[in-house]
Amino acid sequence: MTTATQPGLAPVRHVLDNGAVILVKETHTTPAVTISAALQAGSIYESDAQLGLACFLSRVIDRGTTHRTAEEIAEELDSRGVSVSINPTRHTQGINCTCLSEDFDFILEVMGEIVTSPSIPADEIEKRRAEIVTAIRQDEDNPAVVATERLFALLYPDGHPYGRPAKGTLEAVERIDRHALEAFHASRFAPSVLSLAIVGDVAPSRALDAAADTFGRWRAPVPRPVTLASPPTLRRRQSIVTMMNKSQADIAYGFTTIARSDPRYHAFTLMNNALGQYSLGGRLGDSIRERQGMAYYVFSAFDGNVIESPLLIRAGVSPANVDRAIASIDQEIVKIAREGLSAEELADCKRYLIGSMPRMLETNASIARFFQTAEFFGLGTDYDVRLPGLLDGVTLDEVNAAAATLSPDRAALVVAGPYKPTETPPAAG
């Protein structure tokens, strides 16, 4: 008798009666299990008066539950060598940990309490508020962070949720109280917006039973959806933030492009790889860092998201090289838009991205992240199997059409650091 084996990761996907999605992949690389819970409760759901609320909640949600104090949770986790990380993004709150297989059931129970019934103690709120205020002030003194946040505000203006600072503002954070945190949890945390990925040395049947025991009885109203507006299409605009006490100037340069659901997504991914996805490779690194020696670092990043997504270029340079570096970035954008990629360049990018997939999926935690991304964007449980073909199927015409959408005339530009322009940096034509 032969047994059919599904290709790829092939996670077990199960939806509980309350709408929670459970994804399980059994692996035996190590005697450990990664647990990743993602809830659609990120910063886009904050009101303008409560910027930073999602970030604030991420700092206090694990500081006690209705069943355990913060000290008890810390002791239980520490005794098992487990740490819980909580990562808020624009769209989600991610609660993640890795534990030994023998501790899986207990750790999942604790994570379930953190997700469904945090106590949000008043004393912990004040401790975490002080931490957030310190973090915001540190960000305000960091040219790289200042440049990036200002760039997003230019790309997504007029209070758009993508253009707001993730940690909030000092004024907003000072106003956030326990009632606001409890109300945000009550309105945004629900089984209908929960996806739970369990990856590691645990049988799917055991994992599904434990997940059902932990989350199956959870009931909460379905959160109100939020519709995001598309960002406006604007001409070139720039902002200079002079920080004369710094030694390096940071450049943030970018565009809004396409949504993750756009059929051109993989063409844009390949184009970004050629442009400069990795600091020492790609056209930007070769031109600006290697041949001209102007940048301490330079890279591009393409972040596919729910609406038109940013393609960013970041560079750190000497203040004396700011204008030259910006001109070089403009020139590389003009060149890739006009000339496109060569067939050899596209083939190299395909080989690299397809060849790096095994490394991208070599740990339980990385597999869990991959599952969460695929679930959030509705890519299917076989996306890891289809992805190499999707990348390999992109034609030279398609990737060059993606490149042709870029233009310095549409770029947003921010410079933060010890730089005072003598004139407006020109766009290359």
pLDDT in tens, 288-301: 887 888 889 999 99
Structure tokens at 307: 């609406």
Final residue of a domain: which of 160, 182, 215? 215
Please tell me whether residues 264 and 399 are part of one structural domain. yes
Q: Residue 286 sits in a domain of what CATH number?
A: 3.30.830.10
Residue 221 domain flag: no
Final residue of a domain: which of 215, 247, 280? 215
Q: Alpha helix (H) ranges present in 299-363?
A: 322-339, 343-355, 357-360
pLDDT in tens, 99-121: 999 999 999 999 999 999 999 99
Q: How far apart are CA 43 and CA 55, in angstroms?
A: 7
DSSP assigned state of 231: P
Q: How far apart are CA 58 and CA 70, in angstroms?
A: 14
Residue 228 domain flag: no
Please tell me whether residues 159 and 19 are part of one structural domain. yes
Please tell me whether residues 33 and 152 are part of one structural domain. yes
Per the rule left: phi > 0, alpha: psi between -120 and 50, beta: everything else, 276 is: left
Residue 86 domain flag: yes
Please tell me whether residues 123 and 251 are part of one structural domain. no
Please tell me whether residues 211 and 264 are part of one structural domain. no
pLDDT of residue 4: 46
pLDDT in tens, 193-233: 999 999 999 999 999 999 999 999 999 999 999 999 999 98
pLDDT in tens, 348-386: 999 999 999 999 999 999 999 999 999 999 999 999 999
- Strands 249-256, 412-417: pairing is antiparallel
Residue 422 domain flag: no
- Strands 85-88, 21-26: pairing is unpaired
Number of domains in the chain: 2
Residue 225 domain flag: no
Residue 277 domain flag: yes
Please tell me whether residues 209 and 242 are part of one structural domain. no
Please tell me whether residues 242 and 181 are part of one structural domain. no
Q: Write down the residue that tokens 């600091």 correspond to.
A: 279
Please tell me whether residues 244 and 376 are part of one structural domain. yes
Residue 413 domain flag: yes
Please tell me whether residues 252 and 401 are part of one structural domain. yes
Residue 223 domain flag: no
Please tell me whether residues 350 and 292 are part of one structural domain. yes
Please tell me whether residues 206 and 260 are part of one structural domain. no
Range of the domain at 140: 12-215
Structure tokens at 107: 């750790």
In 80-236, DSSP assigns E strands to 85-88, 93-100, 194-200
pLDDT of residue 338: 97
Instruction: Indicate the pTM of the whole model.
Output: 0.93
CB 302 within 8 A of CB 284: no
pLDDT of residue 6: 67
Q: How far apart are CA 220 and CA 182, in angstroms?
A: 13
> Residue-wise pLDDT tens for the chain (429 aa)?
344 456 899 999 999 999 999 999 999 999 999 999 999 999 999 999 999 999 999 999 999 999 999 999 999 999 999 999 999 999 999 999 999 999 999 999 999 999 999 999 999 999 999 999 999 999 999 999 999 999 999 999 999 999 999 999 999 999 999 999 999 999 999 999 999 999 999 999 999 999 999 999 999 999 999 999 999 988 999 999 999 999 999 999 999 999 999 999 999 999 999 999 765 568 998 888 878 888 899 999 998 999 999 999 999 999 999 999 999 999 999 999 999 999 999 999 999 999 999 999 999 999 999 999 999 999 999 999 999 999 999 999 999 999 999 999 999 999 999 998 875 555 554
Please tell me whether residues 171 and 283 are part of one structural domain. no
Q: Write down the residue that tokens 């409560």 correspond to.
A: 50
Count of beta carbons in the 10 Å neighbourhood of residue 108? 24
SS3 content of the chain, % helix, strand, coil (to 5): 45, 20, 35
CB 313 within 8 A of CB 332: no
